[in-house]
Protein backbone atom coordinates (compact mmCIF):
# COMPACT_ATOMS: atom_id res chain seq x y z
CA UNK A 1 0.00 0.00 0.00
CA UNK A 2 1.02 3.58 -0.66
CA UNK A 3 0.68 6.46 1.79
CA UNK A 4 -0.58 10.03 1.69
CA UNK A 5 0.14 12.05 4.83
CA UNK A 6 -0.93 15.47 6.05
CA UNK A 7 1.22 16.63 8.95
CA UNK A 8 0.80 19.43 11.42
CA UNK A 9 -2.68 20.61 10.43
CA UNK A 10 -3.21 23.47 12.86
CA UNK A 11 -6.69 24.42 14.06
CA UNK A 12 -8.27 26.37 16.87
CA UNK A 13 -11.15 24.41 18.40
CA UNK A 14 -13.35 24.01 21.45
CA UNK A 15 -12.89 20.47 22.75
CA UNK A 16 -12.67 19.39 26.37
CA UNK A 17 -14.51 18.29 29.48
CA UNK A 18 -14.05 21.55 31.37
CA UNK A 19 -16.55 24.35 30.67
CA UNK A 20 -13.69 26.80 30.10
CA UNK A 21 -12.27 24.63 27.32
CA UNK A 22 -15.48 24.78 25.33
CA UNK A 23 -15.80 28.56 25.83
CA UNK A 24 -12.19 29.73 25.42
CA UNK A 25 -10.92 27.10 23.02
CA UNK A 26 -7.37 25.95 22.39
CA UNK A 27 -4.82 25.23 19.70
CA UNK A 28 -4.75 21.74 18.21
CA UNK A 29 -2.54 19.84 15.81
CA UNK A 30 -3.71 16.96 13.63
CA UNK A 31 -1.52 14.48 11.75
CA UNK A 32 -3.27 12.22 9.30
CA UNK A 33 -2.16 9.41 7.00
CA UNK A 34 -4.11 7.20 4.64
CA UNK A 35 -3.07 4.10 2.73
CA UNK A 36 -4.37 3.42 -0.75
CA UNK A 37 -3.18 2.01 -4.05
CA UNK A 38 -1.67 5.02 -5.86
CA UNK A 39 -0.36 3.13 -8.90
CA UNK A 40 -3.09 4.38 -11.24
CA UNK A 41 -2.69 8.05 -10.31
CA UNK A 42 1.09 7.72 -10.60
CA UNK A 43 0.56 6.65 -14.21
CA UNK A 44 -2.33 8.90 -15.28
CA UNK A 45 -1.39 12.09 -13.40
CA UNK A 46 -5.13 12.66 -12.81
CA UNK A 47 -6.60 13.92 -9.52
CA UNK A 48 -9.68 11.74 -10.04
CA UNK A 49 -7.46 8.64 -9.78
CA UNK A 50 -6.08 9.39 -6.32
CA UNK A 51 -7.10 10.36 -2.77
CA UNK A 52 -7.37 14.15 -2.84
CA UNK A 53 -5.46 15.59 0.12
CA UNK A 54 -7.55 18.77 -0.13
CA UNK A 55 -10.59 16.61 0.66
CA UNK A 56 -8.74 15.04 3.60
CA UNK A 57 -7.84 18.47 4.97
CA UNK A 58 -11.47 19.62 4.60
CA UNK A 59 -12.70 16.62 6.60
CA UNK A 60 -10.24 17.36 9.41
CA UNK A 61 -11.13 21.06 9.58
CA UNK A 62 -14.89 20.42 9.52
CA UNK A 63 -14.77 17.74 12.23
CA UNK A 64 -12.46 19.81 14.42
CA UNK A 65 -15.03 22.65 14.33
CA UNK A 66 -17.60 20.40 16.02
CA UNK A 67 -16.94 20.43 19.81
CA UNK A 68 -16.40 17.15 21.65
CA UNK A 69 -15.46 16.32 25.21
CA UNK A 70 -12.82 13.78 24.16
CA UNK A 71 -10.13 13.84 21.48
CA UNK A 72 -10.94 10.20 20.81
CA UNK A 73 -14.42 11.19 19.68
CA UNK A 74 -13.09 13.81 17.26
CA UNK A 75 -10.57 11.34 15.80
CA UNK A 76 -13.26 8.69 15.32
CA UNK A 77 -15.48 11.16 13.47
CA UNK A 78 -12.57 12.05 11.18
CA UNK A 79 -11.91 8.37 10.44
CA UNK A 80 -15.61 7.65 9.89
CA UNK A 81 -15.85 10.39 7.28
CA UNK A 82 -12.66 9.31 5.51
CA UNK A 83 -13.99 5.77 5.10
CA UNK A 84 -17.44 7.01 4.14
CA UNK A 85 -16.34 9.57 1.55
CA UNK A 86 -13.09 8.19 0.12
CA UNK A 87 -13.54 4.62 -1.06
CA UNK A 88 -9.93 4.10 -2.28
CA UNK A 89 -8.66 4.46 1.32
CA UNK A 90 -7.76 1.05 2.77
CA UNK A 91 -6.47 2.21 6.15
CA UNK A 92 -6.00 5.46 8.01
CA UNK A 93 -4.33 6.81 11.11
CA UNK A 94 -5.18 10.12 12.80
CA UNK A 95 -3.37 11.81 15.66
CA UNK A 96 -5.09 14.71 17.45
CA UNK A 97 -3.00 16.79 19.85
CA UNK A 98 -4.17 19.50 22.24
CA UNK A 99 -1.35 22.02 22.56
CA UNK A 100 -0.58 23.47 26.01
CA UNK A 101 -3.34 21.53 27.80
CA UNK A 102 -4.71 22.84 31.12
CA UNK A 103 -2.94 20.30 33.34
CA UNK A 104 -1.40 22.67 35.86
CA UNK A 105 2.13 22.16 34.54
CA UNK A 106 4.40 22.73 31.58
CA UNK A 107 3.15 20.15 29.06
CA UNK A 108 3.66 20.73 25.34
CA UNK A 109 0.68 18.63 24.28
CA UNK A 110 -1.53 15.68 25.00
CA UNK A 111 -2.50 13.53 22.07
CA UNK A 112 -4.34 10.43 21.00
CA UNK A 113 -3.90 8.28 17.92
CA UNK A 114 -6.59 6.11 16.33
CA UNK A 115 -6.05 3.73 13.42
CA UNK A 116 -8.63 1.94 11.31
CA UNK A 117 -8.61 -0.50 8.40
CA UNK A 118 -11.42 -0.93 5.92
CA UNK A 119 -13.18 -4.28 6.37
61 is catalytic: no
DSSP 32-100: EEEEE--HHHHHH--GGGS--HHHHHHHHHHHHHS--S-HHHHHHHHHHHHHHH-TT--EEEEEEEEES
Burial 72-88 (b: 16+ CB within 10 A, else e): ebbbbbbbebbbeebeb
Catalytic residue among 61, 76, 95, 98: 98
d(CA 72, CA 101): 15
| Residues catalogued as catalytic | 98
Amino acid sequence: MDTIALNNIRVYAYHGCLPEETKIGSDYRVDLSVEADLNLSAETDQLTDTVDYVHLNKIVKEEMKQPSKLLEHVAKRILDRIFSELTPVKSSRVKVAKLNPPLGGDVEDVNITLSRTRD
